[in-house]
């Protein structure tokens, strides 16, 4: 049974509701009572639950951490897992249209969250609405679960799974079509060192700060150097380095203060090689300045020897790959460096057949003769779902039926809510051959793809409902 005609009649509404949700800036901010991830995220949750109420679904707000909308009353439950939070918009100058305007141009909706994950969220809601309006018999309850902390720490999902019933089978439209049967393991860790300054050097680092989240290649980093003698000479030396290496770094000299502003290219941390890391670029300039030997300069040396611009962990001795999911990736996402300490946050994604200890032990070995300490912030094991499982086979067949595309199930380096459940996979929204603009400037979704996602998801829910 196909639901295409029902959804086509809802097209204007789907577009409008997508725009309204995208226009809510749901970046995590300071928690408030009943709003564990801040006002913007809470506004997006309340908007979505109200929409689902109006469409005739049973809804629940789970203490501001998450929510859900139900269709049907079966004992067994099919889940669709989506998230309403978004990553920060980054440098506004790199956006053609304001990131929360949801501007429509050339049959595309532009804005933060259009593809990750607000467009797919609205598509999933209206896929469920199409089933409701069709009058099809549902043997199982259909539940869309709305997460609110997917981009940061998944606290929302941990809370939800303690409080609520878990779907027996589920998918999340937060990756690629046709089906993602494997997701790399993800380790987020902090490298930190404290400094004991006994005397001033000629070039003194007052601060280095850059990046916002570990899962984004940082597109901006800045530093302030205090120069005691001949600041103009240091300025000229920096300028020559930048020109020679063709770095995208702005310089500004104010008396003895030299400001460096490094500009990179953002990308998702699952593919850091597609971006340009503003932190690494700035650290290379500091290395080439040949700073006097201090605890600060030793950390900069460590960075440039063991991390540098590499995205595969080679110099940290944790480079690895497998035939299923390819090579390990490493992203330096955040740096906070001042006169007392430095904290560096890394996001590492390792192959699905490897173990976290293969990575952690190697990095620890490289810290042995230093004063740098390591703290594990988050550690998510890989996801693997056999290709011949009912879930993977059903979703693959639905995709083929709806698109006439024979592309086979894949693995990827992203991390989705699928790994929060025992029987779940990622399914869409990005089609084969398309560029995934999640976490980047000028993120957009094609309106035709938005509609196609709704059609595919409606059919997928229907066919999962038929499984024994």
Q: What is the DSSP letter of 118?
A: I
Catalytic-residue membership of 194: no
Between CA 35 and CA 279 the distance in angstroms is 32
Which residue range is the domain that position 157 belongs to?
Answer: 4-183+383-466
DSSP label of 155? H
Q: Could you tell me if 176 and 86 lie in one domain?
A: yes
402 and 352 share one domain: no
- Asked if 252 and 319 sit in the same domain, the reply is yes
Distance in angstroms (rounded) separating the CA atoms of residues 84 and 22: 9
| Confidence check: pLDDT of 241 > 90 | yes
Give the residue-averaged pLDDT of 134-147. Answer: 96
- Asked if omega into 372 is within 30° of 0 (cis), the reply is no
SS3 of 268, please?
strand
Sign of CA dihedral 418, 152, 411, 437: positive
Q: Omega before 178 cis (within 30°)?
A: yes
Indicate if 372 and 297 belong to the same structural domain. Answer: yes
**Among 347, 380, 413, which residue terminates a domain?**
380
Reported as a pLDDT band with limits 50, 70 and 90, residue 198 is: low
Burial classification of residue 313, based on how many CB atoms lie within 10 Å of its CB (0-12 exposed, 13-18 middle, 19 or more buried): buried
Distance CA 286, CA 262 (A): 12
Residues 158 and 23 occupy one common structural domain: yes
User: What confidence category does residue 294 fall into, taking pLDDT thresholds of 50, 70 and 90?
Assistant: confident
> Are 349 and 413 a contacting pair, CB within 8 Å?
yes
Q: Are residues 87 and 150 in the same domain?
A: yes
Q: Which of 380, 408, 435 finishes a domain?
A: 380
Question: Taking the chain, what is the end-to-end CA distance rounded to the nearest angstrom?
Answer: 18
Q: What does the alpha-carbon distance between residue 460 and residue 395 come to, in Å, rounded to a whole number? A: 6
| 258 confidence band (pLDDT: 50, 70, 90) | very high
Report DSSP letters for 359-371, one per residue: HHHHHHHHTTTSS
**Domain-terminating residue out of 380, 397, 418:** 380
Residue of 28, 85, 117, 449 marked catalytic: 85
Classify residue 140 by its DSSP letter: S
**Both tokens assigned to 311:** 């995205």
Same domain (yes/no): 107, 237: no
The predicted structure's pLDDT at residue 91: 86
- Distance between CA atoms of 362 and 345, rounded to whole angstroms? 17
pLDDT digits (tens, 9 = 90+) for 11-24: 999 999 999 999 99
Q: What is the DSSP letter of 410?
A: E
User: Residue 44: what are its φ and ψ, rounded to 5°?
Assistant: -65, -40
Residues 293, 435, single domain; the answer is no
Q: What is the pLDDT of residue 368?
A: 92
Number of domains in the chain: 2
pLDDT of amino acid 414: 87
| Same domain as 390, residue 375 | no
Do residues 285 and 238 touch, judged by C-beta distance below 8 A? yes
Per residue in 209-232, pLDDT (tens digit) is: 999 989 999 999 999 999 999 999
In whole angstroms, give the CA distance from residue 390 to residue 152.
Answer: 31
Query: What is the Cα–Cα distance from 244 to 94, expressed in whole angstroms?
Result: 25
CATH number of domain containing 25? 3.40.630.10
- Asked whether residue 318 falls in the same domain as residue 197, the answer is yes
Paired tokens of 370: 């230093």
Instruction: Supply the DSSP symbol for 408.
Output: P
pLDDT tens digits for range 365-394: 999 988 999 999 999 999 999 999 999 999
For residues 447 and 45, what is the distance between their CA atoms, to the nearest angstrom? 23
Residue among 150, 151, 222, 449 flagged as catalytic: 150
- pLDDT single digits (tens) 302-345: 999 999 999 999 999 999 999 989 999 999 999 999 999 999 99
CATH of the domain at 202: 3.30.70.360
Q: How far apart are CA 384 and CA 411, in angstroms?
A: 9
Tell me the pLDDT band of 63, cut-offs 50, 70 and 90. very high
Same domain, 130 and 75: yes
Nearest to 331 by CA among 307, 297, 362: 307
Strand order in the sheet with 444-446: 104-105, 108-110, 444-446
> Is the pLDDT confidence value at 1 over 70?
no
- The whole-number average pLDDT for the span 417-445 is 94
Q: Is the pLDDT of residue 435 over 90?
A: no
**Tokens 């749901």 correspond to what residue?**
26
Active site residue 343: no
What percentage of the chain has pLDDT greater than the value 70?
99
C-alpha span between 271 and 216 (Å, rounded): 9
- Given a cut of 90, whether residue 184 has pLDDT beyond it is yes
Residue 375, phi then psi, degrees to nearest 5: -130, 125
Q: Is 340 helix (H, G, I), strand (E, B) or coil?
A: coil
Q: What pLDDT was estimated at residue 320?
A: 96
Same domain, 24 and 161: yes
| CA geometry: angle 415, 314, 249, nearest 5 deg | 80
Q: CA-to-CA distance for 427 and 442, rounded, in angstroms? A: 23
Q: Which residue has the higher pLDDT, 203 or 2?
A: 203
């Amino acid at each position: 049974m196909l639901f295409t005609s029902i959804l086509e009649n809802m097209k204007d509404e789907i577009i409008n509701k997508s725009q309204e949700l995208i226009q809510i800036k749901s970046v995590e901010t300071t928690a408030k009572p009943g709003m564990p991830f801040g006002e913007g995220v809470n506004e997006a949750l309340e908007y979505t639950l109200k929409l689902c109420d109006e469409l005739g679904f049973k809804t629940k707000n789970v203490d501001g951490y998450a929510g859900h909308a139900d269709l049907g009353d079966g004992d067994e439950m099919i889940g669709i897992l989506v998230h309403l939070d978004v990553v920060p918009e980054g440098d506004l100058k790199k956006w053609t249209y304001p990131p929360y305007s949801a501007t429509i141009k050339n049959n595309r909706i532009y804005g933060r969250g259009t593809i990750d994950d607000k467009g797919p969220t609205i598509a999933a809601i209206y896929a469920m609405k199409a089933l409701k309006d069709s009058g099809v018999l549902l043997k199982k309850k259909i539940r869309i679960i709305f997460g609110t902390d997917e981009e940061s720490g998944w606290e929302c999902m941990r809370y939800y799974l303690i409080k609520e019933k878990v779907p027996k089978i589920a998918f999340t439209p937060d990756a690629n079509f046709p089906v993602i049967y494997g997701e790399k393991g993800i380790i987020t860790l902090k490298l930190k060192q404290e400094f004991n300054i006994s005397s001033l050097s000629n070039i003194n680092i007052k601060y280095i700060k850059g990046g916002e989240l570990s899962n984004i290649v940082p597109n901006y980093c800045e530093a302030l150097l205090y120069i005691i003698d001949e600041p103009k000479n240091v300025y000229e030396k920096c300028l020559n380095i930048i020109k020679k290496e063709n770095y995208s770094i702005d310089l500004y000299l104010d008396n003895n203060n030299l400001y460096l502003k490094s500009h990179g290219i953002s990308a998702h941390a699952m593919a850091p090689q597609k971006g340009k890391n503003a932190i690494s670029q700035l650290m290379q300039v500091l290395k080439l300045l040949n700073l006097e030997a201090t605890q600060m300069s030793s950390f900069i040396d460590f960075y440039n020897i063991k991390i540098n611009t590499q995205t595969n962990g080679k110099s940290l001795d944790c480079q690895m790959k497998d035939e299923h999911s390819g090579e390990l990736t490493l992203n330096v996402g955040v740096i906070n460096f001042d006169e007392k300490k430095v904290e560096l946050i890394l996001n590492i994604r390792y192959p699905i057949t490897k173990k976290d200890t293969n990575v952690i032990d190697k990095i620890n070995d490289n810290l042995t003769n230093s004063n740098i300490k390591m703290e594990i912030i988050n550690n998510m094991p890989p996801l693997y779902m056999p290709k011949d499982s009912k879930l993977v086979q059903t979703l693959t067949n639905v995709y083929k039926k709806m698109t006439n595309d024979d592309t086979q199930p894949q693995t990827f380096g992203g991390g989705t809510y699928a790994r929060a459940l025992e029987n779940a996979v990622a399914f869409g929204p990005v089609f084969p051959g398309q560029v995934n603009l999640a976490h980047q400037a000028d993120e957009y979704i094609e309106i035709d793809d938005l509609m196609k996602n709704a059609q595919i998801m409606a059919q997928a829910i229907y066919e999962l409902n038929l499984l024994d």
